[in-house]
Amino acid sequence: RRQLARGRLARTELRSPRAGTVLHVHRRAGEVVDGADTAIAEVADLSVLELRTQVTGAELIGLVAGGAADVVLDARPGVVIPGEVVVVAPALDPGTALGTVRIRLQLPDGVHPAVGLPGQATVRRAPHPAILIPSAAVRRSIAGHDEVLVCAGGVEDHVEVRDVTVGSRGDGTLEIAAGLTAGERIVVDHVLGLEDGQAIEVAAP
């Protein structure tokens, strides 16, 4: 029986389902492997590397597969590696309120980063029309929503409290992705003390 087992072992081959480089070996010679689902080794194709990152809902707005990105690895801070967004999460993780974005690196000749290196990515968004307002014009509701105060009415103007969706954030400005239309007037100062329907006087431009 022992001789039969040795004969079978001599004819045993371990084949990876894909070409690549062995990253980790999980089993040693002589160990018993139970079933086909037991991992023996980890193999990866190092010619295709991706950066996986978690972003907020506001950062997720406007990201689409195919977008260009610039990646800088912590180990090589002076080298900018071009990349392409290949996966954008369709929904946020309810536990973290973050969504996963995967960026495939387009490695230049001579650059072979190790697997697992941390880095940062900047996605180059295509130009698009946007509504930008001062950051001070947005306040937080009791329910935790972003809201602005719209100047509504005619001669006797009053405040209309409206929920908005904030997109990208700039230096002192916010992009409003939803909730406002171009040309609407809003309150940009002393927004904390005003209530829905309260009368206001619009200052001359």
Tell whether 158 and 139 lie within a shared domain. Answer: yes
Total domain count, the chain: 3
- For residue 104, the model assigns a pLDDT of 92
Q: Which residues of the chain have pLDDT under 70?
A: 1-13, 20, 30, 35-37, 44, 46, 126-127, 154-156, 202-205
Tell whether 106 and 169 lie within a shared domain. Answer: no
How far apart CA 163 and CA 185 sit, in angstroms, is 15
The model's pTM is: 0.50
- For residue 144, the model assigns a pLDDT of 85
- For residue 179, the model assigns a pLDDT of 85
Q: 90 φ, ψ to 5°?
A: -75, -15
Tell whether 119 and 144 lie within a shared domain. Answer: no
Provide the residue range defining the domain that includes 91: 50-124
Which of these, 122, 198, 189, 107, lies nearest to 159 by C-alpha position? 198
Tell whether 96 and 137 lie within a shared domain. Answer: no
